[in-house]
Amino acid sequence: MPASKEHTLGEFDLIRRFFASETDADGVVQGIGDDCAILLPPPGQLLATSVDTLVSEVHFPANADPADLANRALRVNLSDLAACAAQPLWFTLALTLPEPDTVWLEGFSRGLREAAQKFGIALVGGDTTRGPLCITIQVTGAAERPLTRAGAQPGDLVYVTGELGAGAAALPLVLSGDAGASHWVQARNAFYYPQPQLEAAALIAPFASAALDVSDGLLADLGHICEQSGVGAEVHAEKVPVAELAAQTLDHDAALAMAVSGGDDYQLCFTVPAQSRSELERLVSAGVLEATEIGRVIEGNAVRMLKSGAEWQPPATGYTHF
Ligand code: ADP
Ligand code: MG
């Protein structure tokens, strides 16, 4: 038996050793160690909560680095908070492990602590069970004015933060597990360390009409805004900002297809009433917000993609999420 595998490590020891820590986080009346976490919401704010599960060999390769996994698990959840313009407060972790491998747990808990600290969110409870590796995180945040997918109106402008296509371009590289491959570092960063757009969300929250995070691909996700808002949208493909990783590893058309229909970018797609355009542009030119206008909201119920002025159907990206 490898020295790293301590089969004697009990559930309570494991929790105490890797996950329990004194927390002075805001609103935590009772953290890890009791039947429930007891929490005090910020006065006058609404709570936003979301949960996501990562299953080994379904959402990530079983041999993935544990600190990388912890980062992805927490960051994709934080992206859901950003999509609602909620600021992170607390999270819980349900961890299913084949065995209590202390080396794996050390890496995972370190990655989780670092990410939690970076984004200002406190671990307040969880559950630990034995079984096939599976990571579930539930996050809770607070928002003064939460954004939803509903609220876009014809005439609004459509924006995305950052650049798109890196998540999808990273996937085959990440799956190869080949740390020697060119662009490995960029791919690993894009897949395991997506940046939840919490600051951008806070900046646009006062005036955006609808928002979500791009996890399924821009076309599909903007389609969700259209459906929930009862509108259509028109997007100019050549305005969509293409991530460097996609541009460097694919030909021009394939990179554009990744940006438009690939997923896993965790940027925000949001709509803004035309009268708020100058406010948004002020934030962009001040260098505090990276956002690009890519189209507008129209009457209807579907997303129309245009390229060089003509209707355009992006080719299938050729990669499906695993
Ligand atoms: P219960 O039997 O009431 O479900 P548990 O024995 O599962 O309690 O957990 C004991 C305490 O440790 C609880 O406060 C729980 O929230 C916390 N906990 C369990 N697993 C984890 C974990 N992986 N990360 C953080 N906290 C955990
Ligand atoms: Mg339990």
Running DSSP on this structure, what letter comes out for residue 276? G
Instruction: Please compute the mean of the pLDDT values over residues 289-305 and round it to a whole number.
Output: 97
CA atoms of 202 and 288, how far apart (whole Å) = 11
CA of 12 to the centre of ligand 2 (A): 10
**305, β-bridge pairs:** 235
Q: Whose CA is nearest to atom 3 of ligand 1?
A: 35
Ligand 1: residues with CB < 6 A are: 15, 19, 32-35, 93, 95, 123, 125-128
Q: Nearest ligand to the C-alpha of residue 125?
A: 1
In this predicted structure, what is the pLDDT of residue 225? Answer: 98
Q: Which residues contact 194 (CB under 8 A, 6 or more apart)?
A: 72, 75, 76, 79, 167, 264, 265, 266
CATH class of this structure's domain 2-143? alpha beta
Instruction: Please compute the mean of the pLDDT values over residues 168-172 and round it to a whole number.
Output: 93
Instruction: Tell the burial category of 308 from Cβ atoms under 10 Å away from its Cβ (0-12, 13-18, 19+).
Output: exposed
The pLDDT-based confidence of 322 (bands split at 50, 70, 90) is: very low
Annotated binding-site residue? 101: no
Residue 110 pLDDT exceeds 90: yes
For 78-88, what is each residue's pLDDT tens digit?
999 999 999 99
CA atoms of 215 and 172, how far apart (whole Å) = 17
For 258-294, what is each residue's pLDDT tens digit?
999 999 999 999 999 999 999 999 999 999 999 999 9
Running DSSP on this structure, what letter comes out for residue 129? E
Percent of the chain with pLDDT over 90: 84
Average pLDDT of the chain is 93
Instruction: Please compute the mean of the pLDDT values over residues 237-255 and round it to a whole number.
Output: 95
Alpha-carbon Rg for the chain in angstroms: 21
Name the architecture of domain 157-311.
Answer: Alpha-Beta Complex (3.90)
- Residue ranges of the chain that CATH labels 3.30.1330.10: 2-143
- Residue ranges of the chain that CATH labels 3.90.650.10: 157-311
Write down the pTM of the prediction. Answer: 0.93
Q: Nearest ligand to the C-alpha of residue 127?
A: 1
> What separation, in Å, do the N-terminal and C-terminal C-alpha atoms of the chain show?
32
